[in-house]
Chain A
Amino acid sequence: MQFAINISYIIAAILFVFGIKMLGSASTAVRGNRISSLGMLLAVVATLARSNLGYEWIAGGILTGALIGFIAAKRVQMTGMPELVALFNGFGGLASLLVGWAEYEKARPDWSAYLTENDAVPGSWFSALVIVLAIVIGGITFTGSIVAYLKLSGKIGATAAGFPGQKVVNLLVMAGLVAVGAFFSIAVEQANAPSLFLATVALSLLLGVLGVIPIGGGDMPVVIAMLNSFSGLAAAAAGFVISNTVLVVAGCLVGASGLILTVIMCKAMNRTLGNVLFGGFGAASGAGDRQVEGEMKAISVEDAYYVLEAAQNVVFVPGYGMAVAQAQHVVKELAEILERNGAEVRHAIHPVAGRMPGHMNVLLAEADVAYEQLCEMDDVNAIMSTVDVAIVIGANDVVNPSAVDDESSPIYGMPIVNVHQAKTVFALKRGQGTGFSGLVNTLFFRDNCRMIYGDAKATVSSLVSEFDG
């Protein structure tokens, strides 16, 4: 039986690999997701075939969780996607923590019996160490994701909430965690091990909160990608705890893919991971604030309409503001009208626009924008000088030309959508404030840029009605 179970685990792992592979291309992604879910089903069924399982608890647990997951997935609006993904991610992390804890409770009464039974070669310290890893990574994933969830859903302020000496506190907590975890691993068979264990749990949970609290909304894509990676690593650590191959393989695949995504997000902001985690961006600017010549010039919706009517080539550049205003449907409407009017329409999407990797793509796809019109930044930049009108909707830092031409700017070197090279730029904005970074956007002061103030959805709607009327 054990042999059959292990073969099933291997097949499940293969299905995961194919699943992830196929998620990487639009034409195969749906099938890829189904294949990977099939792998999950196989792994679960194979596990149920183990001997000595009490099925009442299992049935109760699975049914409860499946029902909650089902309802949450059915009900969520596409705009609520970032926070839901963060929440699911946190649950996965907590589950891995609890798996590690459950194993500790199993071993605690009699370590020598536990070690013999499980053929644990290096001794109790190693079993304890992997338990610590599952607890620490799982705990950070859990509370970190919950804080990210609260920030993304607006239940707590999304700005970088720091306090003086925060970095020192974080470092102390981190050092404390390493020390407590190490002591626990060494002294796992001693009398004081349970209290060390509880301290490890508590410090891990605390570190997750402290680590994510100081990170502001615009850096969320990096944090979400990193927590995604952590949830995989937590599962892999749990796999070491219970010596289970499929947990190690699947967890590690997710850990690696999340890490790649994190690196891509960091590159898109021209920052290092350390800078995102410890930089506290919003607070640290100031150095690059130079005096900007000129003024921001507003334009009325009516005048904007005349320009758009004549435009042959239009690019939309959405940002977080489009998500806030829920303007994706009217944007799609306007894009259709422009196309019927003979213009070529694209949506230029910066990799870190929004609050999670690929956020804008999901919103526009929800609004039925054709997949081919969702363009990557580099493709649009190549043709930017031929663009008649670039419409910036609630994006700010990702179109700030200081990143290209002002070496003293903190965002210098960050790749941006080069809308300033377009013939005309319309910037839809609620007010004159700065973006997430707190930097002045020199784009708004350029000669080819016109501001259209107001709620993005209302503005785009009135543009649509100008065309209709």
Chain B
Amino acid sequence: MELILLLFIFTLAAFLGFELVSKVPSQLHTPLMSGSNAISGITIVGALIAAGQVEGNLSKWLGFAALVLASINVVGGYMVTNRMLSMFKAKQND
């Protein structure tokens, strides 16, 4: 992948991120934070590639550790967010 292309999408994603979040009501700040924290667990993709190497000893161990941590981040993050949001939602139906 060319570097320029990566920089390009990085810049666009930054603007998109600003646009998306700028109008969130403060009631939802915690779920937003914990939900976006789960998204930052996307590094799991890098961890998968590193842990799945066929060779490479230390590198593979590092990848394995990264994979465990990223999985905690992803699974825990989404579940906790879901728990919080379901509390918010229940009352809306009253």
Asked if residues A85 and B64 are in contact (CB atoms below 8 Å), the reply is no
Q: Which residue of B lies closest to A56 (CB)?
A: B52
Cβ–Cβ < 8 Å partners of B3 in chain A:
121-122, 126, 240
Are A43 and B87 also in contact (CB < 8 A) when A55-B52, A65-B71 are? no
Q: From residue 200 to 240 of chain A, which have CB atoms closer than 8 A to chain B?
A: 224-225, 228, 231-232, 234-236, 238-240
Cβ–Cβ contact B33 & A261, under 8 A: yes
| Minimum distance in angstroms from B60 CB to a CB of chain A | 7
A17, A20, A27, A264 — which one has the most chain B CB atoms within 10 A of its CB?
A: A20
Measured between beta carbons, the chain A residues less than 8 angstroms from B14 are 252, 255-256
Q: A65-B71, A236-B10 are in contact. Are A257 and B20 (CB under 8 A)?
A: yes
- In the complex formed, the residue of A with least CB distance to B75 is A69
Within 8 A of B (CB), among A359-387: 359, 361-362, 365-366, 368-371, 374, 376
Is B92 a contact partner of A371 (Cβ separation < 8 A)?
Answer: yes
Question: Chain A nearest CB: distance from B68 CB in Å?
Answer: 4
B50-86 interface with A by 8 A CB criterion? 50-54, 56, 58-60, 62-86
Are the CB atoms of B17 and A252 closer together than 8 Å?
Answer: yes
Q: A88 to chain B: closest CB distance in Å?
A: 5
Whether A24 pairs with B27 at a CB distance below 8 angstroms is no
> A260–B36 contact, CB under 8 A?
no
Task: Tell whether A61 is near chain B: CB-to-CB under 8 Å.
Answer: yes
Question: Complex Cα distance A101/B61, Å?
Answer: 11
When the two chains form their complex, are residues A20 and B35 in contact, meaning their CB atoms are under 8 A apart?
A: yes
Tell me whether A68 is interfacial, beta carbon within 8 Å. yes
Q: Could you tell me if A23 and B24 are in contact, using CB atoms closer than 8 angstroms?
A: yes
The segment from A293-301, A349-357, A445-453 found at the interface with B is A349-357
Inside 8 A of B65's CB, which chain A residues have their CB?
98
In the complex where A30-B86, A257-B17, A376-B26 touch, is A47 in contact with B45 (Cβ < 8 A)?
yes
Is the pair B69, A92 in contact by a Cβ cutoff of 8 Å?
yes
Known contacts being A99-B66, A358-B29, A358-B30, is A253 close to B44, with CB within 8 Å?
no
Q: How many residues of B contact A (CB 8 A)?
A: 83
In the complex, A304 has a CB within 8 A of chain B: no
B26 and A357 within 8 A (CB): yes
For residue B48, which residues in chain A have a CB less than 8 angstroms away from its CB?
44, 47-48, 53, 58
- Evaluate whether A88 and B80 lie within 8 angstroms (CB atoms) in the complex, with A61-B67, A236-B10 already known: yes
Point out the residues of chain A lying under 8 angstroms from B68, CB to CB. 61, 64-65, 68
Contact A232 B52 (CB under 8 A): no
Q: How far is the CB of B62 from chain A (nearest CB, A)?
A: 4
Q: B26–A349 contact, CB under 8 A?
A: yes
**Does A315 lie at the interface of the complex (its beta carbon under 8 Å from any beta carbon of B)?**
no
A20 to B85, CA, bound (A): 13
A179 proximal to B (CB < 8 A): no
- Given the known interface contacts A65-B67, A72-B72, the answer about A376 and B80 at a Cβ–Cβ threshold of 8 Å is no
Cβ contact of A69, chosen from B1, B50, B73, cutoff 8 A: B73
Chain B residues within 8 Å of A34, by CB: 82
A48 to B67, CA, bound (A): 13
Of A242-250, A396-404, A405-413, the segment with at least 4 beta carbons within 8 Å of chain B is: A242-250
Q: Of B63, B81, B90, which contacts A98 at CB under 8 A?
A: B63
> Is A40 within 8 A of B41, CB to CB?
yes
Tell me whether A58 and B46 are in contact (CB under 8 A).
no
A81, B76: Cα distance in complex, Å = 12
On whether the beta carbons of A95 and B18 are closer than 8 Å, the reply is no
Residues of A within 8 A of B70 (CB): 65, 91-92, 95
User: Does A292 make an interface contact (CB < 8 A)?
Assistant: no
Task: Tell me if A70 is interfacial: C-beta within 8 Å of chain B.
Answer: yes
B27 to chain A, nearest CB (A): 5
- Contact residues in A for B54 (Cβ distance below 8 Å): 52-54
Do A29 and B37 touch (CB < 8 A)? no
A54-B53, A358-B29 known; A251+B85 contact, CB < 8 A: no
Q: A234, B43: Cβ atoms under 8 Å?
A: yes
Given A95-B43, A98-B62, A101-B62, the answer on whether A358 and B27 have CB atoms closer than 8 Å is: yes
Closest 9 interchain pairs by CB?
A65-B71, A256-B17, A69-B76, A61-B67, A358-B29, A53-B52, A69-B75, A357-B29, A358-B30
Q: Which residues of A contact B (CB under 8 A)?
A: 16-17, 19-21, 23-27, 29-30, 32-34, 36-37, 39-40, 43-44, 47-48, 50, 52-55, 57-58, 60-62, 64-66, 68-70, 72-74, 76, 78, 81, 84-85, 88-89, 91-92, 94-96, 98-99, 101-103, 105-106, 121-122, 126, 224-225, 228, 231-232, 234-236, 238-261, 264, 349, 351, 356-359, 361-362, 365-366, 368-371, 374, 376
* 11 further contact pairs, Cβ within 8 A, besides A36-B38, A253-B20: A20-B21, A33-B38, A50-B49, A57-B52, A95-B47, A98-B65, A105-B56, A238-B43, A248-B10, A257-B17, A349-B26
Interface residues of chain B, those whose CB is within 8 Å of chain A, are 1-3, 6, 9-10, 13-18, 20-54, 56, 58-60, 62-92, 94
